[in-house]
Chain A
Amino acid sequence: GAVVSQHPSRVICKSGTSVKIECRSLDFQATTMFWYRQFPKQSLMLMATSNEGSKATYEQGVEKDKFLINHASLTLSTLTVTSAHPEDSSFYICSASMGRDGYTFGSGTRLTVV
């Protein structure tokens, strides 16, 4: 089946630094990828939708300058958290559309900002 590989699975960074999270579609081409954020005991909240070769579409309230999304190829999308602060600590998950068959998700990245 379709697999999305997400790295790293865990990252700890110092406040003020930037962190990049990668999502790769291993056996299919992902025209559209979605980035979610999940807080403990909360649902997945959509942050942005990225389409290959074009600018990402951000949800209301998500700072596009803080959460930089790049979808430069049909197999790779990246999320960069710039100038991270403790409140950015969360679980970040990417997802690729499979058309009518639904969506496949990455394994998630636990970001801790200290």
Chain B
Amino acid sequence: EDQVTQSPEALRLQEGESSSLNCSYTVSGLRGLFWYRQDPGKGPEFLFTLYSAGEEKEKERLKATLTKKESFLHITAPKPEDSATYLCAVRRGSQGNLIFGKGTKLSVKP
């Protein structure tokens, strides 16, 4: 069964304290792993798409990496405005829809 598991469920950091979020997945025919940011009461906002093991992408304080079984979202020197829920999703090979994990709720305190 296709599955996406994110950990930790919640993460509290001090401003400037770097850390990583994990997304492990099992899916037949992976056609992309996606990271989104979701603020309360809003729809997900696109961050990254990764397609093959070893691929890395960066955007400001965020860096996403991918292996054959998991992906990491590294946050370097986070700021309070980085507080949000970060969602990981994989695209199924045959259907094209996304399967989401439950997300990691990140809180960054000043």
Contacts from A to B (Cβ < 8 Å): 6, 9, 32, 34, 41-46, 49, 91, 93, 95, 97, 100-108, 110
Min CB–CB distance A8 → chain B (angstroms)? 13
- A103 and B101 contacting across the interface, CB-CB below 8 Å: no
Smallest CB gap from A48: residue in B: B97
Q: Which residues of B contact A100 (CB under 8 A)?
A: 32
Taken residue by residue from 79 to 95, chain B's Cβ proximity to chain A (1 for < 8 Å, 0 otherwise) reads as 00000000101000001
Question: Which residues of chain B from 1 to 55 have any CB-CB distance to chain A below 8 Å in the complex?
Answer: 4, 32, 34, 36, 41-46, 49
- A104 and B41 contacting across the interface, CB-CB below 8 Å: no
What are the 5 closest A-B residue pairs judged by CB atoms, nearest first? A105-B43, A43-B100, A43-B102, A44-B100, A108-B43
- Tell me, in angstroms, the Cα distance from A9 to B41 when the chains sit together: 9
- A44 and B97 contacting across the interface, CB-CB below 8 Å: no
Please count how many residues in chain B sit with their CB below 8 Å of the partner chain's CB atoms.
22
A interface secondary structure, majority: strand
Q: Which residues of B contact A9 (CB under 8 A)?
A: 41
Min CB–CB distance A44 → chain B (angstroms)? 5
Q: Which residues of B contact A107 (CB under 8 A)?
A: 42-43
Smallest CB gap from A97: residue in B: B96
- Tell me, in angstroms, the Cα distance from A46 to B30 when the chains sit together: 17
**Residue of A91, A93, A103, A105 with highest tally of chain B CB at under 10 A:** A103
- B98 close to chain A: CB less than 8 A: yes
Q: Which residues of A contact B36 (CB under 8 A)?
A: 105
Q: Which residues of A contact B102 (CB under 8 A)?
A: 41-43
Min CB–CB distance B102 → chain A (angstroms)? 5
- A6 and B43 contacting across the interface, CB-CB below 8 Å: yes
Min CB–CB distance A91 → chain B (angstroms)? 8
Q: Which residues of B contact A110 (CB under 8 A)?
A: 41
- B97 and A49 contacting across the interface, CB-CB below 8 Å: yes
- A108 and B46 contacting across the interface, CB-CB below 8 Å: no
- B103 close to chain A: CB less than 8 A: yes
- B46 and A43 contacting across the interface, CB-CB below 8 Å: no
